[in-house]
Structure 1
C-alpha cells in the first residue's frame, strides 16, 4: 500500500498533488496544517508531541496514505513508515503565483475573503523559504529528501507534475 510524504514551500502545490494522489489511489489524506496549530489567532504551533498523537491516530486508522506539509519536524516522525517522498522544490516565484491563484481552502479559512486577507503575509513567508533555517525551510526539506532511503521524486516546476 502506498505511503507518500509530500513537502515543499507554501504555495508549491502540496495540497493539490496530495488530493490528486489520494483520489486516484484510494488513499487517506492528511494535511499537516490541520494537526500543527492551536485554533487561536494569532496562530501558534502545537507542541510536536500533540501533533504526533494526531498523526499516529491517522496512521493507525489508515493502511495507505498521503501526508503533506512543510513541517520537516512532523514529517520526520513518519519517514520510517513512508515508502515514497515527493519534494516540490519549485522556485519562490512559482510558489507566489500558485498562492495568488489558489482556490479557497475551507479547512483553513472561514471564506475566500479571509484567505485572501492573509495573502500578503503568506507571500512574505514564501519569500523567506530559501533564507530561513527552521523546520519550514528549503534547507530542512533538502535534508529530509537527501536522507530518505526509499523512492523519491523532486519536482522543480508546475509543468513537471502535469
Structure 2
C-alpha cells in the first residue's frame, strides 16, 4: 500500500505544471474548452461564475472579499488547473499564476450562435426555461463586447493579453484552441 502511494506521488510530481487561464466574451467557447482540458489532462476546473455569484442566485454578486478569498483558495489548493471566465479583474489576478494565457476571441457571430445553442447550465439556473428567459439580455450584453469599456469588454481583455509576458495565444475562431491541445469537436459547442 505504501509503495503504491509513493508511486502515485512520484507520478503526480513528474507531471508538468499545467495552469491554463481561458478568457473571452460570453459564448467564445471557454467553458466547453475548459471542461475538455480538465477531463483530458486531469486538471482542477474553476468557472469564475461559480465564485462571483451567490449559489443559486446568479444575479446576486458575492462580496469582493469573498470572491478574492475563493480565487486565492483555488490557486493555493491546486497545482494543475484550468480557470475560465470573462471577469477582467479576476483574469488579471489569476494571470500571475498561470503557465499559459488563452484569449478566445472568435468574433461576435460565433459567440451569439454559441449562446443560442448553449445547453442548460444547472449550476447557474433553476431550469432551462429560466436560462432561456435571460437569453435576450445576455445576447444584448454580448453584442456590446467590442464597444464597452468595462472589465468584461474586448478592450479590457486586449489590455490583459497584450501586457502578459508569459506563454499566451489568441484564437480568432472556435477550432484553433481545441487543436492546440489535440482536442476534437464533439456534440454541443
TM-score, with structure 2 as normaliser: 0.81
- Displacement, 1:48? 2.7
Counterpart for residue 123 of structure 2: 107
Counterpart for residue 21 of structure 2: 5
- Displacement, 1:64? 0.6
Matched, 1:15 2:31: yes
Give the ranges of 4+ consecutive aligned residues of structure 1 lying more than 6 Å apart after TM superposition: none
Q: 1:137 and 1:149 mapped to 2: Cα distance? A: 21
Counterpart for residue 157 of structure 1: 173
Counterpart for residue 117 of structure 1: 133
Counterpart for residue 78 of structure 1: 94
Which string of whole-angstrom CA distances, capped at 9 and with x for unpartnered residues, describes residues 77-114 of structure 1? 11111110110112111100000001111111112111
Q: Aligned Cα RMSD in Å? A: 1.5
2:78 equivalent among 49, 57, 62:
62
- Displacement, 1:39? 4.7
Q: 1:72 and 1:48 mapped to 2: Cα distance? A: 14
- Displacement, 1:37? 2.0
Change beyond 3 A, Cα 1:42–1:20: closer
- Displacement, 1:12? 0.6
Change beyond 3 A, Cα 1:41–1:4: closer
Partner of 1:103: helix, strand, or coil? coil
Counterpart for residue 62 of structure 2: 46
TM-score, with structure 1 as normaliser: 0.94
- Displacement, 1:141? 0.5
User: Which has the larger displacement, 74-83 or 118-127?
Assistant: 74-83
- Where in structure 1 are there 5+ consecutive unaligned residues? none
Partner of 1:75: helix, strand, or coil? helix
Change beyond 3 A, Cα 1:161–1:82: closer
User: Which has the larger displacement, 139-148 or 103-112?
Assistant: 103-112
Quick check: which has more Rg, 1 or 2? 2
- Where in structure 2 are there 5+ consecutive unaligned residues? 1-16, 179-189
